[in-house]
Amino acid sequence: MKKWLSSISNKMFLGYAAILTTTLITSFPLISTNNEVENKVRTFVQQTLPKLGTIRSISSDLKQLELNAYSLYGYTMSSSEYNAQSTMKTEAIRRELEQISSDNTILNQYFNTFAIHLADIHKTMTLKPVNWDVARKHLVDLSTTSDAMLKQIDHLTETLAISAQKNSDSIINKMSIAANLLFILVAIIFAVAITAYIFSCKKIARPIKELSLAASRIAKGDFKTGIIINSTDEIGQLAETFNHMQVGITKREERILKHAHYDYLTGFANSVLMTDRVTSAISQTNRVYSKFSLILLNLKYFEDINNAFGHAHGDAVIKEVAKRILNHVRDSDSIARINSDKFLILLEDSNDVSAAHYTSALIKRLSESIEIDATSITLSVCSGIVSYPGNGSDAVDLLRQAHLAMDQAKQSFSEVAVFDSSSDHCHIRQLSIIRDLRKAVESEQLILHYQPKVDAKNNKLFGVEALIRWVHPELGFMPPDEFIPIAERSGNISLITYWVLKKAIKQCRSWNGQNIKIKMSVNLSAIDLLDKALPEYILSLLNEHQVHPSQLVLEITESTVLRDTDLALQLLNELKDAGINLSIDDYGTDFSSLAKLRELPVHELKIDKSFVMNMLDNENDTVIVKSTIDLGHNMGLRVTAEGVEDQATLTLLNELGCDEIQGYYISKPLSTSDFSIWVNSYNQEPRDQEAVSPS
């Protein structure tokens, strides 16, 4: 019986049963109001609260995606991590959007635009070279769209809160109406009616008001304040459910925040949180004139451990490394795992010298063998150190400089490298070259010079080699040895190759019209031999300018076929079958392989100038040159010697049977106009002319 009386409806039924039939008819709206109260409260708890929790999750995910974009822009997050997290979180947000608003067109449109900006940033940062202006624009667009979407979400949250408030007010109003009806009852039932009214207000209106206030708190982000209702009836049960849901939402938000700022494997801060900590350290340093250092640790060859033993083994290694780092650092220092094999330590009150000693001791500890499942693993660790003040202007800049120092340690096979501002200048210069290379090609900043090649026996002009030159508007003259490797590393070498081919073949046509019919030599890089579209492009240029394929000589080095031998050989054979001449450039400087040379479909060997220039003084160089000439002739190839700078060297090469010569004794590389003058002069001068000055 006691359990039966715990229900609000049952208690009210007993009270209303004591009232006359007329009273029941008049009081019916009160009973109806009670049922409506319960239904609306259930609707609020079952629908509105989950939506509010989902809205908080969406807001957090949006901010995390925006932080990831800035991390990718600052090179503190890899492209693969960025792409994986973007895919995972955007799918999660799409599902959550469907839960809170299946027909909210504006919110969905904002999110579609947001997802497009995420993809554009990833695309821009992975294209080489990186177009920084476009990347920054995408970041601004991303932030703008994120803010607009958050405003729309705030509006939706406010709408839910207002709806809850209105429901509460509506219920209270209905109860008031029911109470007013009670007041018109006859005097003999007045006491019963007023008792029912007081009972209803106490058991229903006050708890509903508490739920309404709780809804307002949740809308403002307060999930911790609970509801205290001392009742075991339906309202009490709803209040308890309400509290459980608040606890669940709080735990979910805590998990979201933790995943957004901490590494799941080590518990250390991630790159996002560490960037904030470095920013705070900079502000603190500027206020109290203190100092700090950043130590970037890299576990070299860690990927090999994953490949050899599996990721479970690799995770165990990371946990052990994290444990050793944690035992080494002070309580005041901050640690982050910013990549699969990289750890960052913020060392307070430290300069370059103290940080270097500190790091050497830590690396010694990390280099001790690690025993995992009866397997002994010894790590190779290197580090980069940068200190503040004195370097960098913000967190992104300091992290970039730490990476530069770490790369320097790798290249020099050192354990510790302290950031050197000169390397930063070099890095900035390289970035300028990468940034301006496409503009240089499009705006015709590049020019070609041509170095003559003549027949060694009769000194007759045989051909020219096209050599690229770049006078940068800010950096001045840059030798090809500087910007060509950068173009190869940044993926822009094809821009240069296509430009050189176009200009050289066009110039060849022009000389043909002047009755200067010679071969045009153009250098190809290793990456060019992986371009399946290259043969078709070359043949289209030859056809467009009516230049015979035999007039074009493509020079490659032996190392160019090492990346993908099968593809390179296929492309070379395709070029040879089209009638184009192929030449091995700088022969002898790589680890020459006769087996590889036998496979290459080439017509010419070019002996590197490092052997030719010292022939008269170094018998070993003479032997190498002679052997190369004999080898080439025995294989049916023409042999060209580079670096001929005097008559004596030319005479010796003639005696050894060399076919062609190239060097400053004949001519330095010439501009188009200077070459025309040189041709006329050369055809009229004796063949024993003095060497041309290499100015």
Contacts of 351 (CB under 8 A, 6+ apart): 291, 293, 387
- Residue 477 in any domain: the answer is yes
- Residue 22 in any domain: the answer is yes
CATH number for position 443:
3.20.20.450
pLDDT tens-digit readout, 68-119: 777 776 767 777 777 777 788 777 777 777 766 655 677 777 778 877 877 8
- Residue 203 in any domain: the answer is yes
Report d(CA 524, CA 532) in Å as an integer: 14
Q: Is the same domain home to 412 and 439?
A: no
Which long-range contacts link 237-240 to residues 24+ away (Cβ below 8 Å)? Answer: 238/41, 238/42, 238/45, 238/207, 238/211, 239/207, 239/210, 239/211
- Residue 691 in any domain: the answer is no
Contacts of 592 (CB under 8 A, 6+ apart): 558
How many domains does the chain divide into?
3
User: Residue 37's pLDDT is what?
Assistant: 55
Q: Is the same domain home to 474 and 390?
A: no
Q: Is the same domain home to 403 and 466?
A: no
Omega of the bond prior to 29 within 30 degrees of 0, cis? Answer: no
User: Residue 255's pLDDT is what?
Assistant: 63
Q: Which one, of 313, 669, 298, lies nearest residue 464 by Cα?
A: 669
Q: Which domain holds residue 679?
A: 430-684
Q: Got the DSSP string for 583-646?
A: EEEEETSS---HHHHHHS--SEEEE-HHHHTTTTT-HHHHHHHHHHHHHHHHTT-EEEEE---S
- Residue 575 in any domain: the answer is yes
- Residue 212 in any domain: the answer is yes
pLDDT tens-digit readout, 305-354: 888 888 888 899 999 999 999 999 888 889 999 888 899 999 988 888 88
pLDDT tens-digit readout, 426-467: 666 667 777 778 787 777 788 899 999 999 888 899 999 999
Report d(CA 19, CA 520) in Å as an integer: 114
Q: Is the same domain home to 86 and 218?
A: yes
Q: Is the same domain home to 440 and 327?
A: no
Q: Is 60:255 a contact under the CB 8 Å cutoff?
A: no
Mean pLDDT by 10 residues, the chain (695 residues): 54 57 56 59 58 67 73 74 78 73 69 78 75 75 77 74 66 62 59 62 64 67 65 66 67 62 85 88 79 91 84 90 91 88 91 90 91 85 90 84 87 84 63 76 84 91 93 78 78 86 95 94 88 93 95 85 74 93 82 68 91 91 93 93 93 93 94 92 60 33
Report d(CA 184, CA 174) in Å as an integer: 16
**Phi, psi dihedral angles at 584 (to 5 degrees):** -90, 115
- Residue 689 in any domain: the answer is no
Predicted TM-score (pTM) above 0.75: no
Q: Is 216:161 a contact under the CB 8 Å cutoff?
A: yes
Q: How far is CA 478 from CA 438, 560, 675, in A?
A: 15, 24, 22
CATH number for position 307:
3.30.70.270
Q: Is the same domain home to 48 and 186?
A: yes
Q: Is the same domain home to 18 and 58?
A: yes
Q: Which amino acid is at 183?
A: F
pLDDT tens-digit readout, 661-686: 999 999 999 999 999 999 988 876 65
Q: Which of 258, 290, 311 is the last residue of a domain?
A: 258
Q: Is the same domain home to 369 and 439?
A: no
The length of the chain in residues reads 695
List alpha helices for 1-131, DSSP H: 2-5, 8-17, 21-43, 49-73, 79-100, 105-126
Q: Is the same domain home to 223 and 339?
A: no
Q: Give bridge partners of residue 449 from the DSSP assignment.
A: 467
- Residue 425 in any domain: the answer is no
Q: Is the same domain home to 66 and 178?
A: yes
Q: Is the same domain home to 275 and 236?
A: no
Report d(CA 387, CA 349) in Å as an integer: 10
Q: Which one, of 53, 63, 60, 43, lies nearest residue 222 by Cα?
A: 53
**Strand residues in 227-348 grouped as ranges (E):** 292-300, 334-339, 342-348
Q: How far is CA 255 from CA 65, 249, 251, 334, in A?
A: 16, 10, 6, 21
Q: Which of 204, 225, 258 is the last residue of a domain?
A: 258
How many secondary structure helices (H) and strands (E) does the chain include? 25, 16
Q: 233-270 as b/e, with b when 16 or more CB fall inside 10 Å?
A: bbbbebbeebbebbeebeebbeebeeebbbbeebebbb
Element (H, E) at 446: strand 446-455
Q: Is the same domain home to 339 and 362?
A: yes
Q: Which of 258, 281, 314 is the last residue of a domain?
A: 258
